[in-house]
Amino acid sequence: MPRITLIGAGSATFTRMLLGDILSFPELHDVSIALHDIDPERLETAEGVARWTAKNAGAAPAISAHADRRAALDGADYVINMVQVGGHRATVADYEIPLKYGLRQTIGDTLGIGGIFRALRTIPVMHGIGNEMAEVSNDGAWLLNYTNPMATLCWATYAGSPQQNVIGLCHSVQNTTRQLAEYVGVPFEDVTFRGAGVNHQAFILRFERDGEDLYPLLDARIAQDPELLRRVRMQMYSRLGYFPTESSEHSSEYLPWFMRDDEAIERHRIEVGAYVKMSEENLDEYAETRRRLAAGEDLPGEPSIEYAPEIIHSIETGTPRVVYGTVQNTGLIDNLPRGAAVEVPCLVDGSGVQPTHVADYPAQLAALNRTFLNVCELTARAAIEGDKDHVRHAAMLDPNAAATLSLDQIWSLCDELTAAHGDLIPEALR
């Protein structure tokens, strides 16, 4: 049976959710599960979660916990990465220090100053995982990455490590298409769709029922309720012609128009600092999980719509599926840079993951994506080449930072965040 390794398994809620989905497949009841986390307490919690989940599923996987990452990767067929380098403390710094300069963020994990510095902390870990997988994991092993910033990390992993079987996974496409179905009043099971772009800035290019374009129904819904246009993603749809797959909270900080002043933030109902609150809630949820395990209580949770369990099941059983994943652009989207990390439909079966070509990607979407990918490329180059000037270049080209700060402020902010994160930042970039 396959060996599935979870890196950053101390993200206990996500570990429970993924393992619950994996072990819901009878064919995967006897898999080997290896858990790794650098925090001993969280690793202990992850093991307790895994054993409870296996028992709850009526499965009998071989579960092992490893403080040493290399040992966890040894013999792996699938590696699920969900690390958060620096944890809550780094998240708070990524938000509070830019705020002193007047730079507002909502999530700060994908683009912008927060995304850049999260990437710089995480790329060395991605390279370490990729190098060790090449040395000790099974041939053809897949790295399934959930850690943000997705496009930057996948790009840097392809470019800077020998691990090439890499796919970045998110739930934005799944959630968005279900929400769109609700907006237009059509059962999701009756909908067909196709999307593409960059993770957190992809778009639904086709949204249909039995060949009928459902976008006119969305237009009618907006006409009936103009308040919907007080959301960033609705503004993007109305002006670009295609619905974005990422939430308004995320999307607002990838653009120069929505966070530059108080009036725009109020008009579009943007919650500044949303992720700091979410991070605090995650700490509370982790504490509650430990309490429940210690008390012998059941853990909460429902089946998810995450792709990693489906990918593993499809490869192991030959069951064909379509998922949306972040992969290397080998000409998949012609008008986006080759080598970049793009999000496209992928066919999955017993032969692995096969990304599909997306023809005629709309020019206005590609142009917007390129502003996103500029930041990703320069951040990846900064880490791979050890060029600290590229950190500043990435920040200069970030749409939100450029709309808010002067060049001197951007450079000073980068210096201050570099100092604040200390040895979490690669030595060459300090």
3-class SS of residue 147: coil
Side-chain half-sphere exposure of 113, counting CA atoms within 13 A: 35
3-class SS of residue 7: strand
Using a CB cutoff of 8 Å and minimum separation of 24, what contacts does 55-58 make?
Answer: 56/20, 56/298, 56/299, 57/20, 57/23, 57/24, 57/29, 58/29
**Cα–Cα distance for residue pair 430/423, rounded to 1 Å:** 8
DSSP for 265-325, please give it: HHHTT--TTHHHHHHHHHHHHHHHHHHHHHHTPPPP------SHHHHHHHHHH---EEEEE
Side-chain half-sphere exposure of 349, counting CA atoms within 13 A: 5
3-class SS of residue 236: helix
Residue 376, marked binder: no
Task: Give the residue ranges of DSSP H helices in 30-86.
Answer: 40-57, 69-73
Residue 148, marked binder: yes
* Catalytic pick among 88, 171, 357, 393: 171
3-class SS of residue 188: helix
| 51 alpha carbon, distance to own chain's centre | 26
3-class SS of residue 301: coil
The candidate with the shortest Cα–Cα distance to 340, out of 306, 311, 308, 366, is 366
Residue 88 appears among annotated catalytic residues: no
3-class SS of residue 137: coil
**Cα–Cα distance for residue pair 23/34, rounded to 1 Å:** 14
Question: What residue numbers does the annotated binding site for substrate cover?
Answer: 148
Question: What residue numbers does the annotated binding site cover?
Answer: 148, 170, 200
Question: What residue numbers does the annotated binding site for Mn(2+) cover?
Answer: 170, 200
Q: What are the residue numbers of the active site? A: 171
